[in-house]
Chains A and B, each alone.
Chain A
Amino acid sequence: MTLPRDLRLRIVAAFAVVGCLSQLRSLPVAAGALAAVMLLAWLHRSGQPSWRRLLHLEGFLLLLFVTLPFSVAGQPLFSLGPVVASFEGVSRAALIVCKVSASMLVIVTMLREDEPVRLAVALRGLHVPEPAVRLFMLTARYLELIRGEAQRLHDAMRMRGFRPRGNRHTWRSYGNLLGMLLVRALARAQRVEEAMLCRGYDGRFPRVAQPPPAPRDWMGFALILAFGFAVILTDRL
């Protein structure tokens, strides 16, 4: 299976597939879908392994996995002191693990893009409102720059003997760091605005025409959509 090279098709396909994956209800189908997505991710692996991202879990997700086996009623599987874990609960937790991992792998495999500006152009091609795309493009552009600035401010604090700990001094110092970051960001915004006005910016970017997707891309697109619909149909039948 080849991924469409055209970013517009890839964005639409990723949304459709993740939408299908997120609504699965049966564990075998979800596990099969996860296996298929893992194969796809492995075939399209590039540079860094994307597996590490799967290990990042939000606090409440962990809580969910811990409590689900006990909160879903059903056939008892094992007991931990006074509480009994049910077979249904464990399979429910496994289903969620499969769905969350498969969706995340689809996102990092299909939409990882080193240049967010290309994503912005693709979004514009999909008729996302122009001001929203401009906001996306500029935020993506300045995020890296301002992250570097935050890192420098942080390094300067450490150089002066600052050690982050969970106390009021630390929090106040971080508040000052944040305030400084915002003041500098605003000064930067002022300069950027003036530079843009100097170059004839009238509140709108010129629209870049994009070539239509190649037939090969449409093929890959159709295959991915077919996969998504096949998975959700198998699940519901």
Chain B
Amino acid sequence: MAHIPDGILSAPVLIGGGVVAAAGVALGLKRLDDRLIPRTAILAAALFAGSLIAVPVGPSSVHLLLSGLMGIMLGTAIFPAVLVALLLQALLFGFGGLTTLGVNTVNIALPGLLAGMALGPSIRSTGSPGLRLLAGALAGLLPVIGTGVLVALALWLSSGDYTPVASVMAVTYLPLAIGEAFVTAAAVAFLARVQPDVMRPVAP
């Protein structure tokens, strides 16, 4: 849903996205202990596999981003994990693009990281299941909205002609945000019951 292909964005937007993504990836790799790389990779693969499931919402079906859950479980390692997932998606399935790797990484990873930093601590420490459900739902909902805003921003900065699309993009993100909120809340509740220590971020 958030994969902008090659051939849409202008060069300054692509370069800017690439620079921010490179900084994020460098930070994530620096904070990540070498010995935790296999764990990070397997978690990223699991979240990637989860995002390939088509979840029905209303008349359509969506593929989840799971960036909020990634932010909670991976911390700053979300940047390299998203970059790797996007590269694999471009190479194996032909979705997304090469020049847009940086922009797409920022669009997905940055909101996920912020949500993980803001909501992760309360999800881990709260004793009330209701509060945890609410925080989990927000961790699903907010990153999707953030990604939608960033995609719209990338389009709007690239060309004024994209403005009508950028302004109605919320409509296409609405089903995803709804599905993501419910599924993430349920997944967070499940993990808190079964294995609460899973939700500590791999890289702070």
Q: Which residues of A, 75-93, contact B by the 8 Å Cβ criterion?
A: 89, 92
Q: What residues of chain A lie closer than 8 Å to B169, measured between beta carbons? A: 60, 63
Min distance, Cβ B125 to any Cβ of chain A, angstroms: 19
Q: Which residues of B, 25-49, contact A by the 8 Å Cβ criterion?
A: 25, 29, 32, 34-35, 37-49
Cross-interface CB contact of B7 among A22, A183, A196, cutoff 8 Å: A22
Distance between Cα atoms of A135 and B69 in the complex (Å): 19
Q: Is the CB of B73 closer than 8 A to any CB of chain A?
A: yes
Cβ of A150 and Cβ of B45 under 8 Å apart? no
Distance between Cα atoms of A89 and B49 in the complex (Å): 39
Cβ of A100 and Cβ of B52 under 8 Å apart? no
Q: What residues of chain A lie closer than 8 Å to B25, measured between beta carbons? A: 132
Distance between Cα atoms of A134 and B190 in the complex (Å): 30
Counting contact residues on chain A (CB < 8 A from B), the size range is: 35 or more
Cβ of B91 and Cβ of A112 under 8 Å apart? yes
Q: Is the CB of B191 closer than 8 A to any CB of chain A?
A: yes
Distance between Cα atoms of A72 and B165 in the complex (Å): 12
Nearest-neighbor residue (CB-CB) of B197 within chain A: A186
Nearest-neighbor residue (CB-CB) of A104 within chain B: B94
Cβ of B163 and Cβ of A185 under 8 Å apart? no
Min distance, Cβ A158 to any Cβ of chain B, angstroms: 12
Cβ of A142 and Cβ of B42 under 8 Å apart? yes
Min distance, Cβ A110 to any Cβ of chain B, angstroms: 10
Distance between Cα atoms of A136 and B38 in the complex (Å): 10
Can you identify 29 A-B contacts, CB atoms within 8 angstroms?
A23-B11, A53-B94, A56-B95, A64-B8, A99-B6, A100-B6, A103-B5, A104-B94, A129-B29, A131-B34, A135-B40, A135-B41, A135-B80, A136-B88, A137-B41, A138-B42, A139-B84, A139-B88, A140-B88, A145-B45, A166-B58, A168-B182, A170-B55, A173-B186, A174-B186, A175-B183, A177-B53, A182-B198, A204-B34
